[in-house]
Amino acid sequence: MFWKFALGIWMTVVIILAFTLPAVPNPQVWYEIPSIPGLEEKGRIIFFHVPTAWVTFVAFLVSMSYGIQYLRKNLIDDDIRSVSAAGLGFLFCVLATITGSIWAKFNWGSFWNWDPRETSIFILLLIYGAYFALRSAIEGDEKRARLSAVYSIIAFVTVPFFIFILPRIVESLHPDPIMNPQGQLHMNLTMFIIFLSSLAGFTILFFWMWNLAVRIGKLEFIRHSEN
């Protein structure tokens, strides 16, 4: 119970700091974040856009891991965990796409550009959609669990192709701090701390929501199998 309040306070602090810390061209004090030419105030969306994209990926990873567990042990429990993670992943994927589009409109002029990163988040949307379409087309809990686990594993393998390989081969609009050849960190320290805090907060939020969804899923399964 305590950690839920702690999470609430943590995220409130992060959100307040993300919006109120002054952005100046040359930060002199620790509580000033740099104003990058071209981004200025608009760059604050990074504290929310990247964590949602990150949580989408984490959710997919969790969903796939429990899919593998289901294939190994054949316990419907693992399938419930897999679906709950996929549902939340879909939600965060929609959020990442929307925040990304908004940012793209302000920075690059149009809502959608088919930049490789944008394409990869779109593909994740399609994968989640296909996953739920597959689940709704199969009758029988075990068959559904088995086939959707196999599909999530196959779909997960395409993700490294998109996120890591394609952007290196095709030109990208996405900027340097996230993906650069040397792997160096270019972000100012204050920004980085807030960014990591936001990332951690979103991840813990995901696991909390997932825990709730799993408990609901288990109860629904018990109710539906009693009929």
* Binding residues vs another protein (CB under 8 A): 71, 119, 123, 126-127, 129-130, 133-134, 137-139, 143, 146-147, 149-151, 153-155, 157-158, 161-162, 165-166, 168-170
Q: Which is nearer to another protein, 46 or 127 (CB)?
A: 127
Q: Which is nearer to another protein, 111 or 161 (CB)?
A: 161
Q: Which is nearer to another protein, 158 or 211 (CB)?
A: 158
Q: Which is nearer to another protein, 46 or 145 (CB)?
A: 145
Residue 159 burial (10 A CB sphere; 0-12, 13-18, 19+)? middle
How far is the C-alpha of 208 from the C-alpha of 175, rounded, in Å? 32
Q: Which is nearer to another protein, 111 or 164 (CB)?
A: 164
| Closest CA relative to residue 122, chosen from 130, 177, 171 | 130
Cβ at position 119, least distance to another protein in Å? 7
H or E element: which one contains 209? helix 189-226
Cβ at position 214, least distance to another protein in Å? 23
Q: Which is nearer to another protein, 51 or 67 (CB)?
A: 67
Strands 33-34 and 23-24 turn out to be: parallel
| Closest CA relative to residue 16, chosen from 180, 149, 201 | 201
How far is the C-alpha of 11 from the C-alpha of 23, rounded, in Å? 20
Q: Determine if residue 88 is left, alpha or beta; phi over 0 gives left, psi from -120 to 50 gives alpha, anything else beta.
A: alpha
C-alpha 94: how far from chain center:
9
Secondary structure class of 218 (helix, strand, coil): helix
Cβ at position 91, least distance to another protein in Å? 18
Cβ at position 50, least distance to another protein in Å? 22
Query: CA angle 200-35-186, nearest 5°?
Result: 55
Cβ at position 12, least distance to another protein in Å? 37
Cβ at position 20, least distance to another protein in Å? 40
Answer whether 36's CB lies under 8 Å from 100's CB.
Answer: no
